[in-house]
Amino acid sequence: MNKYQLLAYVKHFVSLDDIEAEQFASCFEEVKVKKRQFIVQPNFTNKHRSFVVKGAFRAYTIADDGQDHTLQFAIENWWVSDFNSYIYQHPATLFIVALEDSTILQIEYSKEQELKKINHKFETFFRIMAEKGLAFEHRRILFNLTHSAEARYENFLLNFPNFVQRVPQYALASYLGMTTEFLSRIRNKRTKKS
């Protein structure tokens, strides 16, 4: 059962006894997602937070000029959502699409709120996830603002080697804030040095 993978992840942050673990896991529903299938689209309220059991996802937005901007990738043991839509229960602004055939565990917004009310450990877990997510985004923004395109690519390779072969080059370029052609040049230059 895939909920064991979720519980193993949760127990890295909070300790749960058997009853608490069952209570937590019972609020999640397993969903199979096909490659290229969307789990979130703009203008629809995002009602779920998703834990990736197997597969890969990309969260992105499209600017008025038609250019897309990737905000997040998620693979196994990562969470993915349009968190602004989810937390405030407002219409989403992101597309979230499966890059591979995937399996996720989803919790509905109302069930998460109930979990937080009945046990402080559950609230602590979701608070830790929010803090970690905010800190990660803060580091990412600062790094993108203060480093060259080459440095951003090298940093991604160093910190997320499991993603590189699983995400399309155009999506990686979008995430790193460059064109696909520029990313190709960086990769070619790096290959020639090796």
Does the structure show a pLDDT above 90 at 193? Answer: no
The CATH number of domain 3-119 is 2.60.120.10: yes
CB 97 within 8 A of CB 36: yes
Q: How far is CA 186 from the centre of its chain?
A: 25
CB 61 within 8 A of CB 68: yes
Distance CA 48, CA 71 (A): 18
**Residue that the structure tokens 């749960």 belong to:** 16
Name the 3-class secondary structure at 178: coil
Does the structure show a pLDDT above 80 at 171? Answer: yes
How many CB atoms are located within 10 Å of the residue 33 CB? 22
Q: What is the pLDDT of residues 45-98, one digit of tens each?
A: 999 999 999 999 999 999 999 999 999 999 999 999 999 999 999 999 999 999
28 or 165, greater pLDDT:
28
Q: What is the pTM of this model?
A: 0.93
CB 29 within 8 A of CB 105: yes
Q: What is the pLDDT of residue 188?
A: 86
Q: What is the pLDDT of residues 11-35, one digit of tens each?
A: 999 999 999 999 999 999 999 999 9
Q: What is the pLDDT of residue 101?
A: 98
CA distances, 151 to each of 51, 74, 121, 186, 193 (Å): 30, 22, 39, 10, 15
Mean pLDDT of the chain: 94
Instruction: Annotate 3-72 with DSSP letters as a single string.
Output: HHHHHHHHTTTS---HHHHHHHHTTEEEEEE-TT-EEE-TTSB--EEEEEEES-EEEEEE-TTS-EEEEE
Q: What is the pLDDT of residue 1?
A: 54
